[in-house]
A and B are shown apart, each in its own frame.
Chain A
Amino acid sequence: MKLIDRYVNEVGKRLLVLQGREDIEKELRSTLEDMLEERAEKEGRPADEAMEIELLKEYGSPDAVATTYNPHPYLIGPRVFPLFLKILKIVLLSTAFGMTVVMIIKLVTQTPMMGSDFTEVLGDGLGNILSTVIAASGYVVLIFAIIERTVPDLGLKEEDFKTEDWDPAALAKEPDPDSVNRGELVAEIVFTFIGLAIINEIFYIPVFTDEFRKFVPWINAAFVTEILLDIYLLRKAVWDTGTRIVKIAMEAGTIVIAGIMLYTPNVITFSSKIFENVPEDSSVDIEVVTRFFDVGVSIAFIVVIVVASFELVKAAIGLIRSFTRK
């Protein structure tokens, strides 16, 4: 029986299931023992090692056997693939667009229109765009691979993808005010992840000042809370009192952080580093450009505050309604 035990062990090592590994091993062992016994009976002699070898050879390599049990032959399965494609497209377009804007700003402010500086910045910029796009794709793949494995089956339903074969029973049910929008959650996870990468300067965008970096731990805390909450919601599929309170607290925190940053001068700068190479006789008016970006940054913070307030009010209304329903 030694060979069977080792064989079962080898299969077990290759099982990618989170639960039920021992169960599968136990079942496999009992099956193999049954088969061996039957073989011995048929041949009219007691089971020996040669018989075991023959049996195991017929049963197949441990790799092949484990593969039949492994539930995820896909990194990103057909269930989430349409959503993956959708979000990948958005992420690629928006990161490529963002990095292109950064490059153009640099080209306009930092270099004369031609010459070695110009080509250098252009080359760096294009290289940057490429590496950012590749890194962003990697993040999206990583997030979806995690969702594929952590969100239970039947979780992401077809209606999220608007395919033909949805369950008509869903129509008969009253729409549940507590149900979460999964597509929205996944998009939020992806973008928050990219946001994390940007503010921690993994994707390097040369606009952050030391003033900004003081806020990074707080922003990280808010972003990580957001991601964890979203993953939890993806698994649970419904809002409840606890998740709504966490959401409200997180949005309130976001509003406070964005509010303080709005009133902190020089959080983000387009002046110091970027403009140091502007030639004296450049037609670009640094004052105007800097002012323009300052206003832009303020508007960005205000947008963040407005969106967070909206989310907060939405969660609060949900919370109040859930109590009045009971």
Chain B
Amino acid sequence: MANSESLDNVVLELRRGVIVLAVLSQLNGEQYGYSLLKLLSDQGLEVDQGTLYPLLRRLETQGLLESVWKLEEARPRRYYVISTDGKKLLPKLKKEWADIVSVMKKMLA
């Protein structure tokens, strides 16, 4: 039991940073929370709602995302899109990710 718990914890930690990168990479176009969740899920990255929605707000507070309310199909939706700061940060994050992957590939080979 303890083993599967610590496995879960490690996996959670591993995913946490990746999700930020995934979110920033997918927000070149406007998405609302639920549509982003599905967009990520369609590409194979399952993210919990309880993780994604607060994360979007946090990234907005940090200035990496911008958001705007739009009325659509009689329902208001909050659309998020990457900000100028976010656009500056993204290539750096991508490079970090590529470095990590190449190092870990060698290490785990």
Residues of A bordering B, CB below 8 Å: 20, 23-24, 26-28, 30-31, 33-35, 59-60, 64-65, 68-69, 153
Contact = CB atoms under 8 A, between A and B. Distances in A.
Nearest to B51: A68
A215 B76 CA distance: 60
19 contacts: A23-B78, A26-B69, A26-B76, A27-B53, A30-B32, A30-B77, A31-B33, A31-B34, A31-B53, A34-B75, A34-B77, A35-B34, A64-B50, A65-B50, A68-B50, A68-B51, A68-B53, A69-B53, A69-B54
Given A26-B78, A30-B32, 17 more contacts: A20-B57, A24-B57, A26-B76, A27-B78, A30-B75, A31-B32, A31-B33, A31-B53, A33-B75, A34-B34, A34-B75, A59-B49, A64-B50, A65-B50, A68-B50, A68-B53, A69-B57
Contacts of B50: 60, 64-65, 68
A154 to B, nearest CB: 9
Interface in B18-63: 32-34, 49-51, 53-54, 57, 61
Contacts of A59: 49
Contacts of B57: 20, 24, 69
Given A26-B76, A26-B78, A31 B54 contact: no
Contacts of A31: 32-34, 49, 53
A23 B54 CA distance: 12
Contacts of B69: 26
B51 A30 contact: no
A27 B61 CA distance: 16
Contacts of A69: 53-54, 57
Contacts of B76: 26, 30
Nearest to A153: B61
Contacts of B53: 27-28, 31, 68-69
Contacts of B61: 153
Contacts of B32: 30-31
Contacts of B78: 23, 26-27, 30
Closest 6 CB pairs of A and B: A68-B50, A34-B34, A68-B54, A31-B34, A27-B78, A69-B54
Contacts of B75: 30, 33-34
A30 B78 CA distance: 9
Contacts of B34: 30-31, 34-35
A27 B54 contact: no
Contacts of A65: 50
B96 to A, nearest CB: 15
Nearest to B76: A30
